[in-house]
Structure 1
Amino acid sequence: MGAFAVDTLDLADMEWSPDDSAIVIWDAPLEFKVLIYSPDGRCLSKYQAYESGLGVKSVSWSPCGQYLAVGSYDQMLRVLNHLTWKTFAEFMHLSTVRGPCCAAVFKEVDEPLHLNMSELCLSDEFLQGNSVELIVFPFLKDVSEGHFRVMYDVTEVPISLPFQKPPADKPNPKQGIGLMSWSKDSRYIYTRNDSMPTALWIWDIRHLELAAILVQKDPIRAAAWDPTCTRLVLCTGSSHLYMWTPSGAYCVSNPLPQFNITDLKWNSDGSCLLLKDKESFCCASVPLFPESTVPWRSCKKFSSSFDTTKHYKLTKTSQWFFFFALCVTIFVSSSMRDVKKWFLSIVDRRVPSVHDIGAF
């Protein structure tokens, strides 16, 4: 054990590399400075993209340890390599995305729920019962009030993204790369520019290009990569869950009443997803489906619909909604302190099945 001084004005944070061979240290936002140190205190590299303006906002190592992503207040993502510690990629987050662009732009839209009740038939015994008013009328009332399902609409470029200009007279402006994370295979990295909180950018590091943009109706609260494959889930504080894979993007409706997803977390083997509300949480089983052979460009919309027509062919992957509805186990807790303890206890165990739910 030892101690060494670092060349910073006000050390903001630090992070070990995945192989523990290096430590990245970055300065407070008042100065752009990223320092790479060895565990014995030797400064391996010093990186400074610019001198004036607010500096580093977020830093993340790739799982392979070969790339270091640096997000800054100038709304850019810079990626350094582990050999020379120089940047080999810079990605800008512009409010208007123009061509030529190979990225798929998925925009969340509402679609009214249309019910076909032409074949509805009730027996005389049911009509004479007292439960008709309790069962049928509330159901029709909910429909008349306008319940919607959400889906992704594939949008062509150019597209203008919702942009929020931060006030100049307030500290800690909501701009810059405030959220980012690498996929398990280190090929993709997602970012969120805080001045465009409803858009999630997914970058392909192998081809050094933008792979996809997910444009949500509400600001993105959290996103997490599957620890076993290239699958990304995100939430916006609504009752819906959103998923992206290289084959496309999907919206899944949450069957739980008044459960708004504000945070989420995978377990270690990717078989279980913890979804958190303000006062409760649930555990969802998310089975892995094989990637579709149909490219996303051949479809127009992606949603949790189970229509078998060609228009929704790619959305068969979202059939894990059935598992979500049947295998979900609800745990209501008065304190969210119990969430982490419970979730860690089930990491090495199987997710409760439908037959196990009664045990709770």
Structure 2
Amino acid sequence: MVMEFSELVAASKECSRICRPIGSYDGKFIAMVSKVTAPPANAVPQQYKLVIRSSRSLMIKKQLLLPSGFIPKIVKWYRPATDMISDELFDGEIHRIFAANDEGEIRIWDLDGMFDITSNGINDLKSVAVIRQINWGANVPIKNVEWGRSPDEILVFSDYQVSLAVWSLVGRESIEIYHPKYYTAKGFSFQPNARHLTVLTRPVSEDIISVYGGPLLELETLSTFGLSEFYDAKGFKWSPDGKWIAVYDTITNFQVGIYTPLGGLYRLFSIQDIGVGVHDIEWSPAGNLLAVASYDGLVRCLNTSTFTPTVVLKHSTSIKTKERIIFVEQPVNGKDGHAKYQRVQSYPVNPPKLRSSLTDAPPKTGFGVMAFNKDGTMLATRYDLIPTTLWIWSLCTMTPLAVLVHVRKIKSVEWHPQKPHLLLITCANSKTKDDETYDNYDLADVGNENDCCLYVWNAEWRNPYALCVPRVSTTFASVTDAMWIRSNVELDDGLDDHISDECSEYDLRAKLLVCDRGSYTVGYLDDDQEPEDDDTKVQRLIDGVQQQEWAELTTASCIEDTFAMVDQRRRVIKAT
């Protein structure tokens, strides 16, 4: 795969271990922790700073100096509490960022210069607010920090399920919600449109869901209800329209409860005879489907009108039908080698299967990936029993559009936030130590450190492609993280006055933030043009002949080619 990349932005490896570079919600800025020049011996402790760069020019816009001894462990940009709110565009233009350390100190900045308050009477900088969480005591550290319902709220989760502190940056006060069951998104959420804070707690022997609304200093409980039907609730999720709360039970009890916001149980979908429970659930963006992934290798898509299965997606460890388009990664060893996908012509196909043990607990048969694309027309899944294989399903036909088999375990999958046909796949690098073994091969025996681990699938291309990340000398060693950055269609960033009009084309392309252990680069992908190599040219000719033959043989029906055929041009890598 041919892409264009920006120059390399370097930092020390120690900073990348603290927290990875992150892009703002609207894609305009990239933040990274950097170390201040080392002080003389026996001087003050080492200092760090937050370096904010433009994602277009990579020019430094602000450098936020942190106090001596403050080691940031969590850094997050503000993003809207839900993606379905009416003032999403307004929220997306707010550029606030916080940094938190292990001791419970949180520092918040506003890059737009409109935020000029402090908390707890600490006057640090004009554009910074400081929170010092001291109510829990020295023996209860913080576990996670998140943005709240608005850019004026911060959620601080303690360890050991002690408390959730909701801080107001305006009122300089906080309230406590005791015994939160989880500190991740499966234990708290926000009701779409209304932004009501919803928390799953377990104060005694029963799980409880509480919905909170109103201003923070006057926060009131809108509803609270127990989950008496569940043994051990593993999480919940709001429907996109805010009408339903879906709750799923423990690994050994297969049931999903559909509740109203006031706590009424509307439906209870359960299966008693399979002996395994629900691994995860996911609402489609339109809210017409609820995908339920279980440990038996099936994804049951429930129709949200009746909450009964509309279709069951089966992930087979031996793929026999030729109706599925299967691509297998072909690694190329050597310093300049580059992996490619090859379309399978013979069946059955047996992807690498995880070699499990009877002592494994919990079993490695859940779903590590289950993600809808932006418009809800496709679903990507990874069944943990075959963790190198990605299934991409069409929700219009309820059949696989493609099955991608890789040589290494799939770490993450991310749909582009604006382009529903574009999918990024990140696999484990060969340097990653992995104790998992497979029936077909061992991960340690395949590939080398120069092999690619980033891949792009486009519904409008014939083939998926591996991304070639240029290496400047030995600076960029191996990819550790990659994520999409929102593209700025309208060039309204007044901070980039030195950017020429020629760079405006980059804002129309899909952008990637690619990180290694000590640096990052921004990649630009023109997804409207499909890259073409010799193998693709041959396949295009074959597809053309086949389509011509099919057109002559079929007069009453129209055959839809998922990977549409268009004239393409070859592009060149440009790395500076």
Q: Same fold (TM over 0.5)?
A: yes
The 8 Å contact of residues 302 and 309 in structure 2, kept in 1 or not, is answered as: yes
Query: Could you tell me which residue of structure 2 aligns to residue 296 of structure 1?
Result: none
Q: Is 58-67 or 161-170 further displaced after alignment?
A: 161-170
Answering whether residue 4 of structure 2 is matched by residue 4 of structure 1, we say no
Change (3 A) 1:111 1:52: closer
Q: 2:456 aligns with which of 243, 247, 252?
A: 243
Q: 1:265 aligns with which of 483, 491, 516?
A: 483
**1:310-325 correspondence to structure 2 within 5 Å:** 310-311=537-538, 322=573, 325=575
Q: Give distance in 2, aligned partners of 1:153 and 1:160.
A: 15
Paired letter, 1:98: K
List alignment gaps of at least 5 residues for structure 2. 1-221, 430-451, 488-508, 541-564
Change (3 A) 1:153 1:279: same
Q: Considering only CA atoms, is the larger Rg found in Structure 1 or Structure 2? A: 2
Answering whether residue 271 of structure 2 is matched by residue 49 of structure 1, we say yes
Query: Could you tell me which residue of structure 2 aligns to residue 285 of structure 1?
Result: 524
Alpha-carbon displacement from aligned partner over 1:245-286 (angstroms, at most 9, x marks no partner): 222311121113544333332234474222233444333223
Question: What's the CA shift for 1:244?
Answer: 0.9
Answering whether residue 424 of structure 2 is matched by residue 233 of structure 1, we say yes
The 8 Å contact of residues 222 and 263 in structure 1, kept in 2 or not, is answered as: no
Change (3 A) 1:263 1:51: farther
Q: Pairwise CA RMSD of aligned residues?
A: 2.6
Q: Give distance in 2, aligned partners of 1:154 and 1:75.
A: 24
TM-score (normalizing by structure 2): 0.45
* Structure that is richer in helix per residue: 1
Question: What's the CA shift for 1:24?
Answer: 0.9
Alpha-carbon displacement from aligned partner over 1:40-83 (angstroms, at most 9, x marks no partner): 11112111134442211121111111111111110111101110
Q: Give distance in 2, aligned partners of 1:87 and 1:150.
A: 39
Q: Give distance in 1, aligned partners of 2:418 and 2:339.
A: 27
Answering whether residue 425 of structure 2 is matched by residue 203 of structure 1, we say no
Question: What's the CA shift for 1:190?
Answer: 0.8
The 8 Å contact of residues 201 and 213 in structure 1, kept in 2 or not, is answered as: yes
**Greater RCO (CA < 8 Å, at least 6 residues apart):** 2
Q: Give distance in 1, aligned partners of 2:566 and 2:455.
A: 12
The 8 Å contact of residues 352 and 386 in structure 2, kept in 1 or not, is answered as: yes
Answering whether residue 343 of structure 2 is matched by residue 154 of structure 1, we say yes
SS in 1 for 2:224: coil
TM-score (normalizing by structure 1): 0.71
Q: 1:164 aligns with which of 329, 354, 359?
A: 354
SS in 1 for 2:514: strand
The 8 Å contact of residues 223 and 261 in structure 2, kept in 1 or not, is answered as: no
Query: Could you tell me which residue of structure 2 aligns to residue 346 of structure 1?
Result: none
Query: Could you tell me which residue of structure 2 aligns to residue 297 of structure 1?
Result: none
Q: Give distance in 1, aligned partners of 2:291 and 2:303.
A: 9
The 8 Å contact of residues 274 and 283 in structure 1, kept in 2 or not, is answered as: yes
SS in 1 for 2:253: coil
List alignment gaps of at least 5 residues for structure 1. 113-144, 293-303, 327-360
Query: Could you tell me which residue of structure 2 aligns to residue 108 of structure 1?
Result: 329
Paired letter, 1:17: S
Q: Give distance in 2, aligned partners of 1:67 and 1:168.
A: 35
Question: What's the CA shift for 1:233?
Answer: 1.0
Change (3 A) 1:174 1:308: closer
Question: What's the CA shift for 1:317?
Answer: 7.1
The 8 Å contact of residues 37 and 44 in structure 1, kept in 2 or not, is answered as: yes
Q: Give distance in 1, aligned partners of 2:284 and 2:385.
A: 24
Query: Could you tell me which residue of structure 2 aligns to residue 189 of structure 1?
Result: 379
SS in 1 for 2:343: strand
SS in 2 for 1:310: helix
Answering whether residue 299 of structure 2 is matched by residue 77 of structure 1, we say yes
Change (3 A) 1:40 1:268: farther
Q: Is 81-90 or 260-269 further displaced after alignment?
A: 260-269
Query: Could you tell me which residue of structure 1 aligns to residue 556 of structure 2?
Result: none
Paired letter, 2:289: Y
Q: Is 252-261 or 79-88 further displaced after alignment?
A: 252-261
Query: Could you tell me which residue of structure 2 aligns to residue 30 of structure 1?
Result: 252
Query: Could you tell me which residue of structure 1 aligns to residue 235 of structure 2?
Result: 13
Question: What's the CA shift for 1:85?
Answer: 0.5
SS in 1 for 2:234: strand
Query: Could you tell me which residue of structure 1 aligns to residue 151 of structure 2?
Result: none
SS in 1 for 2:410: coil
Question: What's the CA shift for 1:307?
Answer: 4.7
SS in 2 for 1:152: strand
Change (3 A) 1:227 1:161: same
Question: What's the CA shift for 1:173?
Answer: 1.8
Q: Give distance in 2, aligned partners of 1:89 and 1:206.
A: 11
The 8 Å contact of residues 282 and 371 in structure 2, kept in 1 or not, is answered as: yes
Q: Percent identity?
A: 27
Q: Give distance in 1, aligned partners of 2:318 and 2:412.
A: 23
Paired letter, 1:242: Y
Query: Could you tell me which residue of structure 2 aligns to residue 253 of structure 1?
Result: 468
Q: Give distance in 2, aligned partners of 1:208 and 1:266.
A: 27
Q: Give distance in 2, aligned partners of 1:249 and 1:16.
A: 33
Q: Give distance in 2, aligned partners of 1:255 and 1:36.
A: 49
Query: Could you tell me which residue of structure 1 aligns to residue 180 of structure 2?
Result: none
Change (3 A) 1:40 1:168: same
Query: Could you tell me which residue of structure 1 aligns to residue 441 of structure 2?
Result: none
Q: Give distance in 2, aligned partners of 1:309 and 1:220.
A: 25
**1:126-137 correspondence to structure 2 within 5 Å:** none
The 8 Å contact of residues 102 and 211 in structure 1, kept in 2 or not, is answered as: no
Answering whether residue 280 of structure 2 is matched by residue 58 of structure 1, we say yes
SS in 1 for 2:400: strand
Question: What's the CA shift for 1:103?
Answer: 1.8
Q: Is 237-246 or 265-274 further displaced after alignment?
A: 265-274
